[in-house]
């Protein structure tokens, strides 16, 4: 008999889990590479707006589906139920692999901000600690995420207030920076906007944690459709304010070349004493994102194990803590290994491709629910996901497509063997 998880999360907790995933990833990681490909502050903000539109479509499609299928696994479950086993499997495969890379990127972000010389060691330690927290139960994870989100939002408010009080560079191409600065950085026009949107989408994908926790949410038919748009809306406002504030003092060029753009921004604004607090906020934000990511990946692993696409032992639920403890330990182990040898920026494009593929399946699944406004939103989301995925850098597209192909081949071999 399938073991069920305990429903303990309300609307507030679900919103906080989504924010914990989004705010940490986007503000401290994705802005700099997105500025590099955009080529100017104006195009970066346009890319942010486009990423938000695609994310909104995905969120609405996910909310409709989560209300009908309130089980762990998110789009893996939706694709399986609406489109067939292969599409559910492919979505789950893309999510697990892509988000494992995201987990490693977040762990390394903690290391870079806390102890740059020992970034990989700190990253592994962070994964071990947060895996232990998740092992203790989803409610403990939600409580920790509340504290993390409060600290991060306080730091970001301070950054915005300081930076907007200073007259700095315009939003035009590459003012104020060396490295890839000047009019030579990034792309231009529509190409720059699309690439920036594809990379910034990495930052918006956190609301998926709410859907993948569907089996642990109270009254999911009402809670999930409420929590997803609220979390997404708050994250968009935060992103927009911080992006404008940082661009106002650094310009696109210096932002593109910065390893720690928010800390550099407060120094450029003449308040260097705030930089240590920003570094702490960055580390805390990355911890929050990592915590929520491990939650989501382990729940999708649980769902795939239940259906035989991953080892059946990973479907076990702890009798006391009511969590998929073996799935969490397996995910934590893989993430720790990747964090020990990986790199932050290289993971962003790869992760974005896998997650965009995941949401393309979600939108296709939502399209099958019938005519009306929801179907139009699903079409917009699917087109947006495909467009942004193939606008990513060539290396990201190639690696992501190869991973999906490997997953599809494994599925075919398993089916041929009658499993």
Is 24 inside a domain boundary?
yes
Is 297 inside a domain boundary?
yes
Alpha-carbon distance of 252 to 231, in angstroms, equals 27
Is 4 inside a domain boundary?
no
Is 1 inside a domain boundary?
no
Block means of pLDDT (10 residues each) for the chain, 419 residues, are 67 80 71 89 94 91 85 85 96 90 87 85 94 73 76 91 78 46 52 92 75 71 82 90 94 87 91 91 84 82 90 91 90 92 80 92 95 92 96 91 95 84
pLDDT recorded at residue 142: 66
Is 198 inside a domain boundary?
yes
Is 61 inside a domain boundary?
yes
Torsion sign (Cα): 209, 215, 216, 221: positive
Alpha-carbon distance of 219 to 251, in angstroms, equals 46
pLDDT recorded at residue 183: 35
pLDDT recorded at residue 401: 94
Is 6 inside a domain boundary?
no
Among residues 54, 76, 48, the alpha carbon closest in space to that of 378 is found at: 54
Specify the DSSP class assigned to residue 26: I
- Whether 32 contacts 180, CB under 8 Å: no
The total number of structural domains in the chain stands at 1
**What is the C-alpha R_g of the chain?**
20
- Whether 39 contacts 186, CB under 8 Å: yes
Is 3 inside a domain boundary?
no
CATH number, domain of 357, equals 1.20.1740.10
CA torsion 47-48-51-52 (nearest 10°) is: -150
Alpha-carbon distance of 306 to 397, in angstroms, equals 30
Alpha-carbon distance of 110 to 104, in angstroms, equals 10
Alpha-carbon distance of 1 to 70, in angstroms, equals 18
Alpha-carbon distance of 200 to 195, in angstroms, equals 9
pLDDT recorded at residue 220: 77
The residues, ordered by sequence, that sit 6+ positions from 365 with a Cβ below 8 Å of its Cβ are 61, 65, 75, 78, 79, 81, 82, 83, 87
pLDDT recorded at residue 168: 63
Q: What angle do CA 300, 95, 361 make, to 5 degrees?
A: 100
- Whether 56 contacts 313, CB under 8 Å: no
Alpha-carbon distance of 51 to 198, in angstroms, equals 7
- Residue 143 belongs to what domain range? 11-414
pTM of the model: 0.82
Alpha-carbon distance of 8 to 143, in angstroms, equals 12
């Amino acid at each position: 008999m399938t073991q069920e998880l305990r429903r303990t999360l309300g609307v507030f907790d679900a919103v906080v889990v989504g924010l914990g995933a989004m705010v940490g990833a986007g503000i401290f990681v994705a802005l700099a590479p997105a500025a590099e490909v955009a080529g100017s502050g104006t195009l970066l903000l346009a890319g942010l707006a486009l990423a938000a539109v695609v994310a909104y479509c995905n969120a609405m499609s996910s909310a409709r589906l989560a209300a009908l299928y309130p089980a762990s696994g998110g789009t893996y479950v939706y694709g399986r139920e609406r489109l067939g086993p292969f599409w559910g499997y492919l979505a789950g495969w893309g999510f697990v692999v892509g988000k494992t890379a995201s987990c490693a990127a977040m762990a390394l972000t903690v290391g870079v901000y806390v102890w740059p010389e020992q970034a990989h060691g700190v990253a592994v330690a962070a994964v071990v600690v947060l895996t232990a927290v998740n092992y203790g139960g989803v409610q403990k994870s939600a409580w920790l995420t509340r504290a993390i989100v409060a600290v991060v939002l306080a730091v970001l408010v301070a950054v915005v207030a300081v930076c907007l009080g200073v007259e700095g560079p315009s939003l035009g191409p590459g003012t104020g920076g060396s490295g890839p600065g000047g009019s030579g950085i990034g792309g231009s026009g529509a190409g720059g906007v699309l690439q920036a949107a594809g990379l910034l989408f990495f930052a918006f994908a956190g609301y998926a944690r709410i859907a993948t926790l569907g089996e642990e949410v109270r009254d999911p038919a009402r809670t999930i459709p409420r929590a997803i748009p609220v979390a997404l809306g708050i994250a968009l406002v935060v992103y927009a304010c911080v992006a404008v504030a940082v661009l106002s003092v650094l310009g696109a060029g210096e932002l593109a070349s910065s390893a720690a753009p928010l800390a550099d921004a407060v120094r450029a604004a003449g308040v260097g004493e705030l930089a240590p607090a920003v570094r702490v906020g960055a580390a805390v934000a990355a911890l929050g994102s990592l915590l929520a990511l491990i939650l989501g990946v382990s729940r999708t692993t649980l769902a795939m194990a239940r259906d035989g696409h991953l080892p059946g032992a990973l479907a076990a639920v702890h009798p006391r803590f009511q969590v998929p403890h073996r799935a969490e330990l397996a995910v934590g182990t893989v993430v720790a290994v990747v964090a020990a040898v990986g790199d932050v920026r290289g993971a962003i494009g790869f992760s974005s491709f896998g997650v965009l593929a995941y949401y393309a399946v979600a939108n296709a699944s939502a399209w099958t629910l019938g005519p009306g406004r929801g179907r139009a939103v699903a079409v917009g989301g699917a087109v947006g996901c495909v467009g942004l995925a193939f606008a990513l850098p060539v290396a990201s597209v190639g690696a992501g497509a190869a991973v999906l192909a490997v997953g599809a081949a494994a599925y075919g071999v398993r089916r041929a063997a009658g499993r």
